[in-house]
Amino acid sequence: MSILILSDHENGQLSPVTLNTITAATEIGGDIDLLVAGDASGNVVKAAASIANVSKVLAANDKIFENGLAENLTPLLLSLSAKYSHIMASATTTGKNVMPRVAAELDVMQISDIIKVIDANTFQRPIYAGNALSTVSSSEAVKIITVRGTAFEAATAKGGNAAVQSLQSTGDAGLSTYLKSELSSSERPELTSAPIVISGGRGMQDGANFNMLEKIADKLGAAVGASRAAVDAGFVSNEYQVGQTGKVVAPDLYMAVGISGAIQHLAGMKDSKIIVAINKDGEAPIFQVADYGLVADLFDAVPQLEKELG
Amino acid sequence: MKVLVPVKRVIDYNVKVRVKADQSGVELANVKMAMNPFDEIAVEQALRMREAGNADEVLVVSIGPAQNQETIRTALAMGADRGIHIEAPHEIEPLAVAKLLKAVVNEENPGLVLLGKQAIDDDCNQTGQMLASMLGWAQGTFVSALEIANDKAKVTREVDGGLEHIEITMPAIVTVDLRLNEPRYASLPNIMKAKKKPLDSKTAGDLSVDIEPRLTIVKVEEPESRAAGIKVADVQELVNKLRNEAKVI
């Protein structure tokens, strides 16, 4: 068996989630090659080559790949597909965008968002926002898979010494053009890999009130998240959203503040190790999944919490 | 321009799903069904384009059992012009759906296909991208803003890091995210009117598409439920528990 992984990278850095996907690949077994497409700096290729368990790094250094346009990445992945039994990507917005195109071209049914490897052909994945878990097996010649990063430990980033092979560019498909990004620049840890996440919901009442959560986040080294209700209300922007259609997180500690606990929100955080809920409505469904629930007005409790944390 | 909107019939998002005792799937019998919420947003977008004079027909297609015609009628009641129902089992896979939609696109020649970014039942997030690739078209996925001018569309995509703006060549596939618009409710007169709108029915065989599933469902089970937690009296107790019992801060 041999496995190709499309690595995620941003601003010249390999995304940590790629390490989780490598662990999923290790559980399948066989050689693991890492594809790095559009790495102008060379840093990502270097980082990829030093990951333990990686056999080979394939570098396609053409700027048409830099922004992850699916129309351009698909021919590149297809040019490599014949050599692999599994082609995998993290279930990030990049992986979700590209992999179904590859699967369709190969006439293969993709297996999305796996959370467990049973064997090389059999995988578990959540359906219905995680309210049911489906185990599926595939007899396709090549398995196209996206991986939920939070369901697998990160592979060791050091200790490897993989060979780097340069690839010919497959060219610009001429269908799409990257214009610009509006990315939030934050000093805080990234939401999906942060050890602690503190999220606010509709109960926060206003975007400005999120600074109460930010103060606590800064004390704990936490990331700040939000429920869909808070994003829809315009309190914070979309990249904060935790839930079925937002980000899935599984930190050591998740604090839900002013969040009622809709099914679609629980889908994004209920695998957290410890869940804390602060809500003035003692009947809110979030308390059914919380390890520690505090029924209180968040506008009293949150400033107190900040003080207690010293 | 004609806009094609595929819509899926799923368990209503307010319903708590139950896994069947034999672990073959989730219980669908006597469960309230509804249009996939993302697909409602796609229908709404198509209607707004028509109302702004940027589309002249909104065609809705749904793939599944006979009851999917109700889902099509819902879209017609919102204001879509015409529907196509393709008879198929409820559990059809995205790859087969994309093949059927490709056959519809080839017959109907829409200038744009608007789809929900994912269905809330299988959570696959595949159909739009697969269809785009099968047609050799560009795609804008997870879209929260859409602006079409001549043969190009500017789309704003909701990506993990924030927002991304790209330009795609038309005809194109656009999959919509939650914040693109707020779908309208169908009024009673429009529900009545929808009953008279044209709705064609076909089978996968009519379109010469193989819809046999590729994946085998080994089992479907309930996730482990979390053990019930405790309520703490105040912030001091909470911090004390987090420090000394859970040891997470």
User: In this structure, is residue B249 part of a structural domain?
Assistant: no
Minimal Cβ distance to A101: which of B13, B129, B169: B129
In chain B, the N- to C-terminal Cα span, in Å, equals 58
Question: How high is the mean pLDDT of chain A?
Answer: 96
CA angle A212, A197, A310 (to 5 degrees): 50
In the prediction, which pLDDT does B227 show?
A: 81
Rounded to the nearest angstrom, the minimum Cα separation between B41 and chain A is 14
> Could you name the CATH architecture of A191-308?
3-Layer(aba) Sandwich (3.40)
Cβ–Cβ gap B117/A107 under 8 Å:
no
CA–CA gap between residue B48 and residue B37 (Å, rounded)? 17
Of B76, B72, B86, which is closest to residue B34 (Cα–Cα)? B72
Cite the DSSP H helix spans in chain B: 37-51, 68-78, 94-108, 127-135, 188-194, 235-244
pLDDT band at B226 (very low <50, low <70, confident <90, very high): confident
User: In this structure, is residue B79 part of a structural domain?
Assistant: yes
CA–CA gap between residue A220 and residue A247 (Å, rounded)? 21
Cβ–Cβ gap B220/A138 under 8 Å:
no
List % helix, strand, coil for chain A (3-state, nearest 5).
35, 30, 35
Neighboring chain A residues of B235 at a CB cutoff of 8 Å = 294, 296, 301, 304-305, 308
- Domain-by-domain residue ranges, chain A? 2-166, 191-308
CA angle B167, B169, B174 (to 5 degrees): 75
In the prediction, which pLDDT does A308 show?
A: 95
Cβ–Cβ gap A137/B215 under 8 Å:
yes
Q: What mean pLDDT is predicted for residues A113-139?
A: 97
pLDDT band at B219 (very low <50, low <70, confident <90, very high): very high
List % helix, strand, coil for chain B (3-state, nearest 5).
30, 30, 40
**pLDDT tens track for A199-232:** 999 999 999 999 999 999 999 999 999 999 999 9
Q: Pairing relation of β-strands A132-138 and A143-147?
A: unpaired
Neighboring chain A residues of B214 at a CB cutoff of 8 Å = 108-109, 138-140
The torsion defined by the Cα of B119, B124, B128 and B130, in degrees rounded to 10, comes to -150
Minimal Cβ distance to A239: which of B94, B95, B160: B160
**Percent of residues, chain A, with pLDDT higher than 90:** 94
Cβ–Cβ gap B223/A132 under 8 Å:
yes
Identify the H or E element spanning A75: helix A70-80
Residue A136 CB: number of other CB atoms within 10 A? 22
Neighboring chain B residues of A270 at a CB cutoff of 8 Å = 226
DSSP code for A221: T
Minimal Cβ distance to B163: which of A97, A181, A263: A181
At residue A155, does pLDDT exceed 80?
A: yes
At residue B228, does pLDDT exceed 80?
A: no
| The two three-digit tokens of residue A87, written as one number | 């082609």
CA-to-CA dists, residue A200 to A29, A287, B164, B177, angstroms: 40, 15, 24, 21
Residue given tokens 């346009």 in the structure block: A69
**Percent of residues, chain A, with pLDDT higher than 70:** 100
In the prediction, which pLDDT does B51 show?
A: 98
Neighboring chain B residues of A135 at a CB cutoff of 8 Å = 217-221
What pairs with residue B158 in β-bridges?
A: B163
In the prediction, which pLDDT does B223 show?
A: 94
**Percent of residues, chain B, with pLDDT higher than 90:** 96
Asked, as a colleague might, if the bond just before B171 is cis with ω within 30 of 0, I would say yes
CA angle B17, B18, B21 (to 5 degrees): 160
At residue A184, does pLDDT exceed 80?
A: no
**pLDDT tens track for A255-271:** 999 999 999 999 999 99
Q: Give the range of the structural domain holding residue B147, as residue numbers without chain letter.
A: 2-244
* Longest Cα–Cα distance in chain A: 60
CA-to-CA dists, residue A282 to A157, A202, A276, B211, angstroms: 44, 16, 13, 48
What pairs with residue B165 in β-bridges?
A: A180, B156
DSSP structure string for B157-217: EEETTEEEEEEEESSEEEEE-GGG--PPPPPHHHHHHHTTS-EEEEETTTTT-----SEEE
3-state secondary structure of A182: strand
C-alpha Rg value of chain A to the nearest Å: 20
Rounded to the nearest angstrom, the minimum Cα separation between A139 and chain B is 7
CA–CA gap between residue B174 and residue B153 (Å, rounded)? 10
Cβ–Cβ gap A137/B144 under 8 Å:
no
CATH assignment of A2-166, given 3.40.50.620, 3.40.50.1100, 3.50.30.30, 3.40.50.170? Answer: 3.40.50.620
Q: Pairing relation of β-strands A132-138 and B215-221?
A: antiparallel
Cβ–Cβ gap B179/A182 under 8 Å:
no
Cite the DSSP H helix spans in A142-244: 210-220, 228-232
CA closest to A143 among chain B residues: B215
Say if CB B48 and CB B181 are below 8 A apart: yes
Rounded to the nearest angstrom, the minimum Cα separation between A217 and chain B is 12
Residue B15 CB: number of other CB atoms within 10 A? 15
CA–CA gap between residue B131 and residue B113 (Å, rounded)? 9
Identify the H or E element spanning A73: helix A70-80
Residue B52 CB: number of other CB atoms within 10 A? 9
In the prediction, which pLDDT does A310 show?
A: 84
Of A78, A25, A74, which is closest to residue A52 (Cα–Cα)? A25
CA–CA gap between residue A34 and residue A57 (Å, rounded)? 5
Neighboring chain A residues of B11 at a CB cutoff of 8 Å = 128
Residue B217 maps to which CATH number?
3.40.50.620
3-state secondary structure of B108: helix
At residue A185, does pLDDT exceed 90?
A: no
CA–CA gap between residue A291 and residue B247 (Å, rounded)? 13
**pLDDT tens track for B170-183:** 999 999 999 999 99
Number of domains in chain B: 1
Cβ–Cβ gap A301/B235 under 8 Å:
yes
Residue given tokens 């992850």 in the structure block: A68
User: In this structure, is residue B211 part of a structural domain?
Assistant: yes
User: In this structure, is residue B219 part of a structural domain?
Assistant: yes
Question: How high is the mean pLDDT of chain B?
Answer: 96
3-state secondary structure of A210: helix
**pLDDT tens track for A25-62:** 999 999 999 999 999 899 999 999 999 999 999 999 99
In the prediction, which pLDDT does A245 show?
A: 86
CA closest to A70 among chain B residues: B139
Of B240, B242, B225, which is closest to residue A253 (Cα–Cα)? B242
Here the ipTM equals 0.95
